[in-house]
Structure 1
Amino acid sequence: MPLINCPECGRQISTAAEACPQCGHPNRDISPTPSGPTCYSCSAAATTRCQRCGALSCAMHLQNIYVSHGRGGAYELRCKSCYASAQAWQVFGFIVMAIIIIIILTVFIAR
């Protein structure tokens, strides 16, 4: 087995050793990896879903947006692509509303 120097005490240890037998310094990175589902955008553990497409995400990569539903509306948590889609529909709605208002005003002014 190949030997390496312990980064803490300098003693030679096996590459297969979990820790240095002299000082106990860990030889391998023992950081736990998330065992459950991970975020669509990063390696963090997924804590919630996009309310439109259901993509698993951490709280950091979901964005809150107001979406109208028929006579009412609600705030929803959306992933990046669904958020962009909702924003585009909001802009489209504002443009249509402005055109309707302009048409109504021109009809009333023409009378």
Structure 2
Amino acid sequence: MNRLKELRKKNGINQKDLALKLGITQQALSYYENGKRNLSNSLLNTLADFYGVSVPYLQGATYCKKCGNYFFEEDHYVFCPYCGISLEEKTYINRCLDCGTVFFFDAPNYCPLCGGQRFE
């Protein structure tokens, strides 16, 4: 869980102090941060509250500011799989509902492959 270490360091907390606050050993915290152990739901909630973040964010999910969905980038998404916003350039894409072709928002108002005019 890279976000655990990232958030801890960003907040200027060392492993020993955070482990004491959580009631766990420093070694256990190290295992959680390095992905060698999975956090329990209660510990996930405690850490999310402590850092002021959501549980999905803490688990490594990406939050899409346009549509409000969380998703995991295991498939190396370049675009949000829900709304089509580019995660890097903040441009939008369309998906043709007739043929499924994906193209950029600034393309003509018809699908360049099939000519369809229904998009999502």
Same fold (TM over 0.5): no
Could you tell me the TM-score, scaled by structure 2's length? 0.26
More strand by share: 1
Could you tell me the TM-score, scaled by structure 1's length? 0.28
More helix by share: 2
- Max Rg structure: 1
